[in-house]
Structure 1
Amino acid sequence: MPTPRPVPVPGTYLRSPIGLGRATVSLLGLVIATDLFAVYADLVLYDVTGDLMNGATGGAATGRLDDAETLNSVAGGVQSVALLLCVIVYLCWFWRVRANAGVFAPQAQSMKPGWAIGGWFVPIVSLWYPRRITRDIWDASSPVGARRSYVLVNAWWTLWLLSLLGDRLGTVDYGKADAADQMHSGAYQSMISDGLDIAAGVLAILLVLRLTRMQNEKALAGPGAAPVGV
């Protein structure tokens, strides 16, 4: 006897996540590129402050430090712009795949649709709500009867939280920096944070590609009762 397909919630319909998925992947790639630039800027500052700690003095050393701090400021600026653009598009994609998940398997969604956006911004709950919603979307988007694994989801979320923690520690350390050794330590913390962010970004790309593909394939394989929009 064939397995009955879930009944869509009245008034909802599927919409293709492919366009938003591609845009999100592109912007995640841009964020990774700016993080790589930031790592280079951190390395420059780390090298300069290391020389100052070893006794380098004079106008040349001061000029190198000024240049390194300027480079770090530029890197921080482009990182912020890229991240803002990525967040906007990523949330649009996330809302889209959450809406589709509500059509595929409404009973599998443990949270209301509004949390797909609000869950990222509400303090405390933002530490686990987005991951929970992503798992619900994953369950709804998986082929019927397929074995489910959350390795990718869990790895991405762990690295994301670690990158946030590293960024916070690096920001506090650098913000207090008024000597070469403190700036040296702050640059090291920033390199670690940016490296974690790059790793989290790579896994985020894989997650977006996987969920987008799963939803597209499930929509194409399903009955024509729920039309796929553009």
Structure 2
Amino acid sequence: MIEQKSSPAAPGLALRPVRTVAHCAVATLVLAGAAWVARAVWHIRLATAGQPASGPPDQGGGVHRPLNGLEDSYHLVASVGSAVTAVCVIVFLLWLDRMRDNAQALSGTAPRYGCSWLWLGWIVPVVNLWIPRGIVVDVHRSVFPERRLPAVVNWWWGLWLAGLAGGVGIIYSDDTDEVIARAYSGVLPLLAADLVIVAAAGAAALMVHTLTTAQQEHVAGRDY
């Protein structure tokens, strides 16, 4: 089953340190947002420059013309952005894994979703529309069942889904040369996707801070 009913957790689970990894997650999310701002700037530069007379980089039939300086620099910006985003994803999942383990230790109940879904939930089609949010919600509600879910969680998830819609934004269905051609022919959808991703990164950073602070304050109050 994908969703599991909460069950008693194993006794004696130790709390894992989460503050440092939370700070790293916020930092990488800010960097990822900055990388997508840079990508948006290059989309605007490409649209302003206009497509060269020689046509798009991908000429069709497996033929690619030499890139000009602006197109070459866009490849660099896109590559750096992808690398930063990959690091951000890893650090975010490490944060979520620790928060999840701590929630289990504090609440005394096992998570609703098995450990494998922490990783697979993002990539398995269809279920990736709700499982990642469900894991985050479970982290909060298992410790604070009487509290309302922070609104930033829904903002983050809505923006994430919007970024995935249509194969633009977070994961491009086109390769870099095809994206360059799209910037030449119609840049507005690309800019809209860039804006959504930047907003999603900001919402995620705020969510990490909000949930981590609440959990840490709960631990401090319990120890006191």
Tell me, yes or no, whether TM beats 0.5.
yes
> In the aligned structure 1, how far is the partner of 2:121 from the partner of 2:53?
50
Deviation of 1:175 (Å)? 6.9
The residue aligned with 2:57 is none
Question: Tell me, what secondary structure is at the counterpart of 2:68?
Answer: helix
Aligned residues: 204
| Aligned amino acid, residue 104 of structure 1 | L
The superposition leaves residues 87-145 of structure 1 with CA deviations (integer Å, 9 ceiling, x where unpaired) of 11111111000111111224473212332222123222112100011111111243x74
The residue aligned with 1:68 is 70
Root-mean-square deviation (Å): 2.9
Tell whether the 8 Å contact from 2:153 to 2:207 is kept in structure 1 after alignment: yes
> In the aligned structure 2, how far is the partner of 1:178 from the partner of 1:16?
41
5+ residue gaps in structure 2?
1-7, 55-66
Aligned-residue sequence identity (percent) comes to 30
Q: 1:167 to 1:198 in 2, by over 3 A?
A: farther
Q: Does 1:34 align with 2:35?
A: yes
Tell whether the 8 Å contact from 2:26 to 2:208 is kept in structure 1 after alignment: yes
Q: 1:215 to 1:30 in 2, by over 3 A?
A: same
Tell whether the 8 Å contact from 1:141 to 1:211 is kept in structure 2 after alignment: no
The superposition leaves residues 15-35 of structure 1 with CA deviations (integer Å, 9 ceiling, x where unpaired) of 121010001111111101111
> In the aligned structure 2, how far is the partner of 1:178 from the partner of 1:131?
29
Structure 1 residue runs of 4 or more that deviate by more than 4 Å after TM superposition: 172-180
Tell whether the 8 Å contact from 1:166 to 1:189 is kept in structure 2 after alignment: no
The residue aligned with 2:62 is none
> In the aligned structure 1, how far is the partner of 2:121 from the partner of 2:148?
24
Q: 1:113 to 1:74 in 2, by over 3 A?
A: same
| Aligned amino acid, residue 79 of structure 1 | G
The residue aligned with 2:165 is 165
Decide which structure has the larger Cα Rg and report it.
1
> In the aligned structure 1, how far is the partner of 2:13 from the partner of 2:112?
17
TM (norm. structure 2) is 0.79
Q: Does 1:103 align with 2:108?
A: no
> In the aligned structure 1, how far is the partner of 2:79 from the partner of 2:218?
40
Structure richer in helix, relative to its length: 1
| Aligned amino acid, residue 30 of structure 1 | L
5+ residue gaps in structure 1?
1-6, 59-64, 225-230
Q: Does 1:129 align with 2:131?
A: yes
The residue aligned with 2:22 is 21
Q: 1:140 to 1:115 in 2, by over 3 A?
A: same
Tell whether the 8 Å contact from 1:167 to 1:193 is kept in structure 2 after alignment: no
Q: 1:89 to 1:178 in 2, by over 3 A?
A: closer
Q: 1:206 to 1:73 in 2, by over 3 A?
A: same
The residue aligned with 2:3 is none
Q: 1:8 to 1:223 in 2, by over 3 A?
A: farther
The residue aligned with 1:198 is 198
> In the aligned structure 2, how far is the partner of 1:196 from the partner of 1:80?
16
